Amino acid sequence: MTSTDDEEFEQQQGWIARFKQAYWPAGGSFASGPFSDPEYTIPPDERKPVMRSLDPQEIRWSVTAFVLALIAGISIPIYIIAKHITAKPGKHISVTVGTSALLLGGLLLLLSIGGFIAIWHRKRTLVSFDLMLTGFAVTALTLLQPLGIAYLVLGGWFMLRASRINKYGTTNTKAIRTQAAARPRGRDRKEAAKSASQPGVRKPPAASKRYTPKSPPRKKIPKPAE
């Protein structure tokens, strides 16, 4: 092989490695990830980037979900159109639900492509929103309603994990319980926030020592005698 062939081969290997890292990165599961340690918490100034991105396990789950949606977007119209083909006299063939099937399939294809783009850019909010829209689209078919509910749950779960990272710096349930128990609640939280917002306690104004005499009582006017 010449040097040019070697460069092309290395470039192809680089693209393959980048594609694999983007859509199927190496990494442990949720049970063995960094959040599995109750003592591990992300500092407050570093939470937003983690909250907006996706970890390797979430990426793999998202890719699996959008691959299934892509397959469904291709196979559902073929199945529905083949099932509802009617042949009339004179060999005239008509499809009763062809337009609806094509629209559903096209919508699933668009949502799948949008989901892959969102995964490439590591946008958690877009991925979650796309999963929920896919779930609503899939529930249009009665037979696939459990699958659509699974998409809705997965998208909501991603947003729940983002909320926990933003609030507690971890998704570990044990660590969240510990932090929640240590935080003030209700009235104590309001008083703590109020005292933190006021740098110093203001004293009430002193009463004025100036003497103000009482007003004399009003005299009663006697009634005229008849």
State pLDDT tens for residues 5-57: 667 777 778 888 888 888 988 876 666 667 777 778 899 999 999 999 999 99
Q: What integer pLDDT is reported at residue 97 of this predicted model?
A: 60
Checking if the pLDDT of 80 tops 90, the result is: no
User: Residue 43 gets which letter from DSSP?
Assistant: -
Q: Pick from 106, 88, 87, 84: which is nearest to 97 by CA?
A: 84
Q: 118 pLDDT band (50/70/90 cuts)?
A: very high
Q: What integer pLDDT is reported at residue 115 of this predicted model?
A: 97
Q: Pick from 73, 81, 195, 186: which is nearest to 133 by CA?
A: 73
Percent of the chain with pLDDT strictly greater than 70: 69
- Residue 126 CA to residue 205 CA, distance in Å, equals 55
- Please give the sequence-ordered ranges of beta strands (E in DSSP) within the chain, or none if there are none: 85-88, 92-95
The whole-number average pLDDT for the span 62-74 is 96
Checking if the pLDDT of 98 tops 90, the result is: no
Checking if the pLDDT of 141 tops 80, the result is: yes
Q: What integer pLDDT is reported at residue 171 of this predicted model?
A: 87
State pLDDT tens for residues 163-213: 999 999 988 888 888 888 887 776 656 665 566 556 555 656 665 556 566
Average pLDDT, the chain: 81
Q: What integer pLDDT is reported at residue 63 of this predicted model?
A: 96
CB contact set of 58 (below 8 Å; sequence gap of 6+): 124, 158, 161
Q: What integer pLDDT is reported at residue 184 of this predicted model?
A: 76
Q: What integer pLDDT is reported at residue 191 of this predicted model?
A: 64
Checking if the pLDDT of 106 tops 80, the result is: yes
Which position has the higher pLDDT, 99 or 161?
Answer: 161
